[in-house]
Structure 1
Amino acid sequence: MTIFRRVGAECVADFREDEVRVLRKVAEEVVGLLTDGFDREDPVVGRLFPDVYPEDVKNSAEFRRFTEGDLKTAKIDQAGAVLAGLPEAGKGEVRLDTESAQAWLRAINDARLALGIRLELTDDTVVEYELEEALEQDAGSARVFQLSVYSYLGYLQESLLEAVIGANFRR
């Protein structure tokens, strides 16, 4: 699996073709969710855009009216940063400056939140156990693939975060 490392002022990783394919698909799905598929009733949208005042519908709607457009644009741009940073050849090196690394971290986080909602994961869920159980039931199921992607995104996020944080400690 790909691990980000610090090289000078950049976070660098060598991606395999299957990893690029998965990241491209995930980022495209996030963009689709936030554009054509944007539905306030979708639990994923609710998680990515939580009510600021859950007990006050009027003020929450008013806050959303003033902030949702900018937040949506930022999330689309972050997913776009992932798409722009991926190798075009299908595999290869990714080099992220600090700003791009931050955008990738936020985009991966959004993708994990969305996937976690779709998989009905909770704070109490142990993903490794869920994956083991899904493998026992049907190793070729969509759930096995989705749990694997969720785990991979967490691993990648942690790797990138360690590269970013490591750089901040050395300054």
Structure 2
Amino acid sequence: MHAFRRRRGQLTCTLEHEELTIMSNLAQQLVELLTSQAMPPVRSGALDGDSGGSEEDIFGELERELSQPVDAGFCSDSSVDPVLRRIFPDAYRDDDKASAEFRRFSQAEQRDAKLNSAVAVISDLNQVGHDRRCVVPDEHVEDWLKTLTALRLAVSVRLGIETASDQDMLAELPDSDPRTSVFSIYEWLGWVQESLLDCLH
């Protein structure tokens, strides 16, 4: 990928075919996660352990994990997908009642905002042609930043990243570890976000 830059007044970047596919698929999985209604089953992290597989296999598993359905009242149930708990954290960690009340009034609006942002990103990605150039309108910049943050949070949950030490550990994994490819996606998403931010300064 060529970093974001201003070109004739437009924010643009150039995406390789694989990068476009990854970004589009992840954004679509985020949309599906935010719009599903059924409560997900309790699942263990499929990216943990030392199971083998190609990068395509790992990315496919990541997509399956991110597409698990959710319930509108997800935060009130301990079986909810941990990705959603990270994307929609409790407003009051030490006060369940206050958190539930806050969520009752804000959850739908927050979800709609994240959904609209992801849809805007998908729309821009769908406009990429043979020149592989992606144009981000100024009115979509905030949507991109929000969606990239949500996607990084989602991937970080699947990788079990909670601290800087967790990231350091993943960075030292051998190429044969199935988590290595997914961690590279996590780092790439961060680089894309930083590239976009640099253009705003």
Q: TM-score, normalised by structure 1?
A: 0.85
CA-atom RMSD in angstroms: 1.9
Counterpart pick for 1:111 among 142, 151, 159: 151
CA distance 1:96–1:89, change in 2 (3 Å) = closer
- Shift in CA distance, 59/129, structure 1 to aligned 2, threshold 3 Å: closer
Partner of 2:57 in structure 1? none
Q: Which residue number in structure 1 is paired with residue 70 of structure 2?
A: 38
Secondary structure of the residue that 2:14 maps to in structure 1? strand
* Structure 2 CA distance for partners of 1:64 and 1:108, relative to 1, 3 Å: same
Deviation at 1:58, TM superposition (A): 1.2
Secondary structure at 1:6 match in 2: strand
The match for 1:64 among 103, 106, 114 is 103
Q: Is the 8 A contact 2:12 2:134 kept in 1?
A: yes
One-letter code aligned to 1:82: V
Partner of 1:79: 118
Structure 2 letter corresponding to 1:57? D
Counterpart for residue 163 of structure 1 = 199
**For the structure 1 residues 129 and 76, does the alpha-carbon distance in structure 2 shift closer, same or farther, using more than 3 Å as the test?**
same
Contact residue 78 and residue 107 of structure 1 kept, 8 A: yes
Q: 2:26 aligned with 1:19, yes or no?
A: no
Partners of 1:153 and 1:115 in 2: how far apart?
10
Indicate how the Cα distance of structure 1 residues 56 and 163 shifts in structure 2: closer, same or farther if over 3 A, else same: same
Q: Which runs of 5+ in 1 are unaligned?
A: 166-171
- The number of residue pairs the alignment matches comes to 161
Distance between the aligned counterparts of 1:101 and 1:94, measured in 2?
A: 12
Amino acid at match of 2:70: F
Shift of 1:90: 6.9
Query: In percent, how many aligned pairs have the same letter?
Result: 33
Q: Which runs of 4+ in 1 moved over 4 A?
A: 88-91
1:101 aligns with 2:133: no
The unaligned stretches of length 5 or more in structure 2 are 37-68, 75-79
